[in-house]
Homo-oligomer: A and B are copies of this chain.
Amino acid sequence: MPRIDTKTRILDASEQLFAGRGVSGTSIRAITAKAKVNLAAIHYHFGSKESVLESVLSRRLIPLNAERLTLLEEYERRSKNNVVALPKIIEALVGPALRVSRDPKKGGGLFMKLLGRLVLEPDEKIQSLLTNQFRTVLERFMPALKKALPGLEPADFYWRLHFLVGAMAHTMADSERIQTVSGGICNPDDTEDTIKRLVSFIVAGMEAES
């Protein structure tokens, strides 16, 4: 009997391989080899490669998005007139994601690399899978952001949301390059420091004069 059950071992191995070599770059055989399970086990437990991807995603995204909402609601409860300051909202949005993306117990950064890849995947099934996971978060954060940025015209609002996602996704997905480029000056393993810097960059960008 293995210490960790087959299903979890398959999910762990898949997460690492999908992140490292892409979904289409990862064969079922590579997953079963890494997970040290039989080739047929993956079909028994999940049915198909795509279903494995779905499980890999929801395992991390469901608790992550729940934490985002919990943080936002906590800030709203403490606020006056339900208007939360912009830095707090951004922190609730990017903080949990960066913490997951650095926690070795939760994929050790690889899960967020995977997510960064999937955002650009045009496959419809993958896209609807992601959209469903993020719909609730978007619906809750958008009104809060609008309240915190009352003077911003709609086009600027959505464009800046777009830029925000880009800065966040790139930071989550790529923690190696920053170390190389900066010659070791930047330490991506200091998660709270990274969050602070990213939040202040985004907040300034969101509040820029048009």
Contact = CB atoms under 8 A, between A and B. Distances in A.
A89 interface: no
B158 A182 contact: yes
Interface in A151-210: 154-156, 158-171, 173-174, 177-178, 181-182, 185-186, 194, 197-198, 200-210
A95 interface: no
B162 A177 contact: yes
Contacts of A182: 154-155, 158-159
A117 interface: yes
23 contacts: A22-B24, A25-B25, A117-B120, A119-B174, A120-B173, A154-B182, A155-B197, A158-B182, A159-B186, A159-B197, A160-B197, A161-B181, A162-B170, A162-B171, A163-B171, A163-B202, A164-B167, A167-B170, A201-B205, A201-B206, A202-B205, A204-B209, A205-B205
Given A24-B24, A205-B201, A205-B202, A170 B165 contact: yes
Given A25-B24, A116-B120, A204 B197 contact: no
Contacts of A120: 113, 116-117, 173-174
Given A21-B122, A25-B22, A204-B208, A167 B163 contact: yes
A95 B156 CA distance: 18
Contacts of A207: 204
Contacts of A210: 200
A20 interface: yes
Given A120-B113, A170-B170, A194 B24 contact: no
Contacts of A159: 178, 182, 186, 194, 197-198, 201
B156 A197 contact: yes
A154 B24 CA distance: 39
B155 A186 contact: yes
Given A119-B174, A158-B186, A166-B169, 6 more contacts: A20-B122, A22-B24, A162-B177, A163-B170, A200-B208, A200-B209
